[in-house]
Structure 1
Amino acid sequence: MAAQSIIGLDIGFHSIKAVELGRVNNNTQLISLGSIAMPEQAILGDNPNDEKIVVDTIGKLFHDMKVKSNIVNTSLPESSVYTRVIEVPRLTDKELAASIHWEAEQYIPLPIDQVNLDYAVLGNGKTGNTMQVLLVAAPLAIIERYTRILSRADLVVSSIETDAISILRVIPQTLPEKANILLINIGARSTDICIVRQRVLTFVRTVPSGGDSFTRAIAEELGFALPQAEEYKRAYGLDNTKLEGKIAASIAPVFSIILEEIKKILVYFREHNPEDKITTSLLFGGSAKLPGLMSYIASETGIDTILGNPFENIYVDPKIKAQVESNFSTFAIATGLALKEFVP
């Protein structure tokens, strides 16, 4: 759907983020962006009042942003969808299309008529007679809820996809096209860990731990109120040289849950791809900029770790550049969604 500008809308569990992009002189340009807090769990509620809260919150955010468009791309969190790579006998496109629902039924814990199913062939399997296929199944009930909310907000939905797929569009173009990347998106409630091979998503796992868990750990360990714990988390993170390492020591046991999952995924990748290796870890999300986090992950995994900037190839007006750079990693999903209109 063509538009002069389009909005990427990232509806989280307790905040909503939006990025509006447009084309100016053949360049993709940031038109506006914004973020707003939302009562936790409102997006998950199944009564009209919960939906009204989300609708009103979106309305306020868009009013504050002074958006020019009412066309949105949005996404579903990985924790709400089923993403899996399966191995099937080598089939033609027609044969795969005819059999994919039967194959999917073996892996998806919902009746197949209750999900929207998409798939993509990734390449060869372990033998010459098989191939790998990425399955993505989204419950129809969740899609219908999102669609209903956005309709009530007088918005036109251009597309709905998953968080992981949207974030692929903001992988830095400076990384080699054929690079194998470990992509880590640290949200408030959960962390998505993805393997991206040659710009293709081949593995996704969600860990039910994120920035909020770090904050609670600091509050419990040091007796802080949550707002104070949040400030200390952002100021000192995993930097052992600050405050005698007390903040880092509070976060480390919680982050170890994520780290252990990362290590398991790396072992899985090496076992299935003995001739390949992951060259870069790419961080996004609200906690990606925590002091000491990049070096901590790099030292624990032995992989070069960098902070992703979703606005790297987008023109940003110098007047708002400082505002954008202060928290750019939190807008990765919203930016990737808006970019769908301008890049493949």
Structure 2
Amino acid sequence: MLGIDISSTAVKVLQLSNTANGYCVDHIGVTPLPDGCISEKIITDVEAVATSIKSAVQQSRSKAKHCIMAIAGSNVVSKVITMPKGLSDAELEAQISVEADQHIPHPLNEVNIDFNVLASNDQQVDKVDVLLAASKTENITTRVTAAELAGLQPVIIDVEAYAIETIYPLLAHQVPGGGDNKTIGILDIGATMTSLNIMRNGKTIYTREQDFGGSQLTAQIMRAYDLSYAEAGYAKKHQQLPANYADKLLTPFKQTAAQQCNRFLQFFYSASQHTAVDHIILAGGCALIPGLDHTIQNELQIPVTGIGPLEKITLSSTLDQDLLEREYSSLLLAFSLALRAFE
């Protein structure tokens, strides 16, 4: 089964298989998306996205016909509610459908609703905490339609922020002590969007997204050196820029990225009882920018490490190793979704 990450600039597909000691990456494909087919993480051109999905699957050489996808947390309303303990899934679903209009700011006939029982409620022993999530139906159907046009059948539509929980056990070894009883931030700086997931003992306790990413640096390069956007992106990726690039553009961009991260944390502190984060794992395409981890660490005074090799993951001998190396830091969500096939 394929995990498919549809970002603002590319489609990334990844397929894993079980091994005796973990998982093996069998197939990977990455295809750029045409400009304008994604707006604020919503698909606006289904056929263009379907074409890119099909191209990425062909590049990966996977024969899988089923896939797992996700929608952005910014397009989901989520809330933890309490329900009586001991109800079956059917009984929970029936009661939630009756009470959902109290928690969801959209007409119920315009949304898809799902729920997940979390744990017993700390204050009421006869209650359980339930995560309620809802998204406008069009956010789901556009992804399903794009996949179907590409010849695939979606079996799970996850929420990006919560999907990251799936891969966290394979990341935890990168944090001293394995992250036990620690508050860990996963900072993903992509092309146009930055997301922060705060994890505590493997569970998401806070998530936030903001429009900021590497495309802003590309646009600055384009203007500064009179290049097309494509030329600027190529020059940035292959480090073919004038000697003054670092001082003129790169260093200010890294400082801005660090300031953005600081704002993320201030929002987190003001919205929770937490007053500190113990460690940041840096992911996304911008994680490849030399020295960005140190700039963020200096700004936050928190240890920051770029995402490293995942625990219990091996690579197929037939895999495109160069592609994986180039794209590795931006494949976190694709890995997370592919892992859901084994739940």
Would you say how many aligned residue pairs link Structure 1 and Structure 2?
325
SS at match of 1:264: helix
Query: 133-142 or 71-80, which moves further after superposition?
Result: 133-142
Unaligned stretches of 5+ in structure 1?
Answer: 1-5
| Closer, same or farther: CA 106–255 of 1 in aligned 2, 3 Å | farther
1:113 aligns with 2:109: yes
1:206 aligns with 2:202: no
Conserved 8 A contact 1:310-1:329: no
Match of 1:265 in 2: 267
- State how far apart, in whole Å, the 1-side matches of 2:309 and 2:160 are: 14
Match of 1:186 in 2: 189
Query: 93-102 or 286-295, which moves further after superposition?
Result: 93-102
Unaligned stretches of 5+ in structure 2?
Answer: none
Q: Alpha-carbon deviation of 1:306?
A: 1.6
SS at match of 1:154: coil
SS at match of 1:202: strand
> Structure 2: which amino acid aligns with 1:167?
I
- State how far apart, in whole Å, the 1-side matches of 2:163 and 2:316 are: 24
SS at match of 2:179: coil
Conserved 8 A contact 1:17-1:331: yes
Query: 312-321 or 219-228, which moves further after superposition?
Result: 219-228
Match of 2:313 in 1: 314
Conserved 8 A contact 2:28-2:59: no
Q: Alpha-carbon deviation of 1:325?
A: 2.8
Q: Over residues 50-72 of structure 1, what are the superposed CA-to-partner deviations in whole Å (9 max), with x where a residue is unaligned?
A: 32222222222222221121111
Conserved 8 A contact 1:170-1:309: no
1:51 aligns with 2:61: no
- State how far apart, in whole Å, the 1-side matches of 2:302 and 2:335 are: 26
Match of 1:141 in 2: 138
- State how far apart, in whole Å, the 2-side matches of 1:224 and 1:42 are: 23
- State how far apart, in whole Å, the 2-side matches of 1:255 and 1:221 are: 19
- State how far apart, in whole Å, the 2-side matches of 1:156 and 1:150 are: 6
> Structure 2: which amino acid aligns with 1:154?
G
- State how far apart, in whole Å, the 2-side matches of 1:93 and 1:306 are: 43
1:162 aligns with 2:162: no
Conserved 8 A contact 2:217-2:249: no
Q: Alpha-carbon deviation of 1:292?
A: 1.6
TM value normalised by structure 1:
0.80
The equivalent position to 1:34 in structure 2, one of 13, 17, 29, is: 29
- State how far apart, in whole Å, the 2-side matches of 1:79 and 1:101 are: 22
Conserved 8 A contact 1:72-1:159: yes
The structure 1 segments of at least 4 consecutive aligned residues displaced by more than 6 Å after TM superposition are: none
Match of 2:302 in 1: 303
Query: 106-115 or 159-168, which moves further after superposition?
Result: 106-115
- State how far apart, in whole Å, the 2-side matches of 1:223 and 1:132 are: 55
RMSD: 3.3
